[in-house]
Chains A and B, each alone.
Chain A
Amino acid sequence: MFAAPRKLSLADWGERHLQLQQAGRREPFYGGPLRRHVELEKDFRLEQLQFDNSPAALRLWNFFLTENSRLHQARTAGDKIVGTMKDLGTVPVMAYALPGVRAFYPDGAWWTPCLMECSDKLLQQAAAMGVDASFCPVRAMLPAFENGEHFPKPELIICSTGAVCDDFSAIAQRLEHRGHPVFWWEIPRRRAPAVGETSCELPGKLLAPRSQVEAVRAELQRVADALGQLAGKSLGDSALTDGIRAANHIRQILADLRQAVYSAPAAPLPALEMLIAEMLAIHFCSDRPEAGLVLGELLAEAQRRMQQNQFVLPPDAVRIFWVNPVADLRAMNLLEDVGGRLCGTDFMFSHALDLIPESLPPLEALARTALADPMVGPASDRAKRIIRECQTYDAEAVVISRIPGASHCAREGESIREMVRQELGIPVVEMEIPPVCDAMLPTMTSRLEALVETARNKAKGLKPNSL
């Protein structure tokens, strides 16, 4: 069943899947050959991707690609569906603390145009609804809400607002204008406590004034009340504590996975699978227990490979830290094609990777976690964490991928780049990645090749970083 690690095309995975079946591999209810996602869901992009060849990766991909159908099944089975938007990690912890409630991020529809290679026409439909290409690809969620061809229409939509991206906020408001009521909750822009001001420690080595934590706690109490009303059962401290514990269990597996993969002498798992695995942190891909199992198997695979000194990439691959999620999954393959490997990430939800404090009252703990969101604080805080993790994992270069139309990308990239260069002196490249990046591939390839070459030369002491 276990084979030497390597990357497979979708076509290769057909044969590999047969081998696994013949070897007695038992798959979960959402399992099956990957090709069916192309045939049934029109996820044409899969044909352009390279996948890890492990059974654990197969399970990960099937789990990820069946989310919408699993949500529809859950709805049919009587579960309440909550669409939670923007906060990336906090509200789902609360929602899954209630029996019969599933939360997902409609924001995730931003990958639909990529997966379907725009054959879904979601972006064109969004433009017809008044949200054109000047906005982030997350605009795809707008028509997805209305046509019902992707995720089921949620019974409750919860969206954080305040210190959030303008484009997302505008799209969510447009959604409400189109008749989908939104429950808004305020997340203030995190600031450093003033001298003499009572402060609170947040996950991620951050501090915030007590007054801000209190404000967010009050807002999350409103969210808890709304969720409880939907579930017909109050969401009290006991349930929240259990929910936090369950979320932390998953976060811990993911932390172990990241530690194992990013600190390994060579990559035991590819970048693309790590991106998808990290994404499970934010809402457990709509099935909390299963998310833990999927990540657990992936971790076991990474550990097994490391014990056997087997890696998916050569040991001389340049260690690259990646900032922001990519609109086109293919970019993660490209990074490895040019001689790089992932050794750390900030996909905009580092607060969803940190353990939620279990020693505090649950809403307070969640408020502190929500405030630790890298996107609600200053770019310098985000850069500091990136620098710390670059140091931890010996990053040799940093890629900041820009999301087309995203308001935060307009300014923060420069600040992060400058701080990383000042502190670490490693090369940094910033590049925009559209939902289907084929037309940009030559440019992207050149930029990444230059980055890798610069990092290699720097390691050899040949010339200073100058990208």
Chain B
Amino acid sequence: MNVFLTSPWIPAEWIRAHGLTSRPLWLEERLSNAPVALSAGVCAVAETTVRFAETHPADAVVFTSACDQMRRGYDEGKFRGQSRVFLFNLPATPTPAARQIYCDELRRLGRFLQEMGGAAPDTKSLWQEIRRAGEARRNLRAIAPSANARSLAEAVAAYHCDGTCSEISTCPSDDRISLALIGGAFPKSDWTLFKSVEQAGGRVTLNATKSGERSLCPEGVDAGDPFEALASGYFDHITDAFQRPNTRLYDWLKPRLPARGVRGLVLWHFTGCDLWRAEAQSLREAFGLPVLLLEAGEATGRSPRDQTRLQAFIEMLKAEG
């Protein structure tokens, strides 16, 4: 059985250690290509996730409480009788009580996985998964600064699927305008944005979406109790907009933006995603960089309107010198 995760902050290692297959739902082709009929204020990601769970009853879907609409989407699924859905209470704060909640939720997820046919994880297999994924993340993080954006995104996607580090093509530095791509879900169907940026004379040197480097933040701890190691390695390194305060996100971006020579920020967001949209002005103020908001849609990154906006943004950055 496939267990589809909706957040990179739930350890895929934990799923695999239960003998089940973990899949990153935010990267799922079937998700991103699904046509969505949205009513007012509904987030497309939450909606497609709910519909995905509905139309894939043989698979399990793990929602999180990090987003209001996702948790309410889970409620809707439960209300309609879905049994293979799980809501992981992902805390927003870094307090000791929040840490305890996180650990409790991991254990509860474990029980759910066993109910779904998974096996209780033994220490050896859990350590194996932790070490393998930790090494893959380290390798990916090491190569990320010089990687081709699309190639890195594909490698990150492969890592989220099986916990391994695949081949990545590098991209020598050149005089194209360096951009950081920031946001939440960035589905595969929207990766044409990388090409659009390149056609406009820029390149993405920092992918801070769920499909990029930011999702590689969890650290592998290599000693002690494996469960504690796994929980700490994730909980202590969640780097996301939903955290309160979300200083970890800004602390993570702070050294990377100048190190990659980033000249502008592209804030990628979905309609109805308040958490990311609200960061636009704060990002501007915190880093003194111009921000272009790109809204995900059926043809974002390829639509003439967005292409023009992207071109204008990059031309403006070029003109600034």
Contact = CB atoms under 8 A, between A and B. Distances in A.
Nearest to B107: A211
Nearest to A413: B39
A248 to B, nearest CB: 26
Contacts of A322: none
A170 B249 CA distance: 14
Interface in A429-452: 432
B262 interface: no
Interface in B89-108: 89, 91-93, 95-98, 100-101, 104, 108
A264 interface: no
B39 A169 contact: no
A177 B282 contact: yes
Contact of B87 (A167, A172, A185, A189): A189
A167 B273 CA distance: 9
Given A134-B277, A411-B72, A194 B108 contact: yes
B245 interface: yes
A214 B285 CA distance: 38
Contacts of A186: 91-93, 95, 97-98, 101
B59 interface: no
Contacts of B72: 379, 408, 410-412, 415
Most buried by A among B65, B75, B76, B284: B75
Interface string A58-83: 00000000000000000000000000
A434 B296 CA distance: 26
Interface string B19-50: 00000000000000000000111110010000
Contacts of B76: 379, 411, 414-415
B246 A411 contact: no
Interface stretch (A13-21, A40-48, A157-165, A224-232): A157-165
Interface string A164-187: 111101111110110000101110
Contacts of B207: none
Contact of A130 (B39, B42, B280): B280
A173 B246 contact: yes
Given A176-B245, A215-B100, A410 B39 contact: yes
A354 interface: no
B244 A184 contact: yes
A49 interface: no
A211 B104 contact: yes
Given A163-B65, A173-B244, A415-B79, A410 B95 contact: no
A296 interface: no
Given A379-B72, A410-B69, A169 B242 contact: yes
A200 to B, nearest CB: 15
B274 A166 contact: yes
B95 A222 contact: yes
B67 interface: yes
A378 interface: yes
B182 to A, nearest CB: 14
Given A408-B72, A411-B42, A182 B93 contact: no
B274 A218 contact: no
A238 to B, nearest CB: 24
A379 B79 CA distance: 9
Interface in B77-121: 78-79, 87, 89, 91-93, 95-98, 100-101, 104, 108, 111
Nearest to A132: B277
A32 interface: no
A184 B245 contact: yes
B93 A162 contact: yes
A407 B282 contact: no
Contacts of B69: 166, 407, 410-411
Given A130-B280, A166-B275, A215-B100, A189 B89 contact: yes
A169 B244 contact: yes
A432 B40 contact: yes
B319 interface: no
A135 B278 contact: yes
A135 B278 CA distance: 9
B298 interface: no
A410 B78 CA distance: 17
B290 interface: no
A130 B92 contact: no
B41 A410 contact: yes
Contact of B93 (A176, A185, A432): A185
B274 A409 contact: no
B142 interface: no
Interface string B205-236: 00000000000000000000000000000000
Contact of A215 (B41, B101, B277): B101
Given A170-B275, A176-B245, A184-B93, A407 B68 contact: yes
A173 B245 contact: yes
A188 B87 CA distance: 12
B278 A170 contact: yes
Nearest to A176: B245
A56 to B, nearest CB: 38
Given A164-B68, A166-B67, A411-B69, A218 B96 contact: yes
A219 B246 CA distance: 18
A234 interface: no
A222 B46 CA distance: 33
Nearest to A405: B41
Closest 7 CB pairs of A and B: A130-B281, A170-B278, A410-B41, A218-B97, A411-B72, A161-B244, A177-B282
Interface of A: 129-131, 134-135, 159, 161-167, 169-174, 176-177, 182, 184-186, 188-189, 191, 194, 211-212, 214-216, 218-219, 222, 378-380, 402, 405-412, 414-415, 418-419, 432
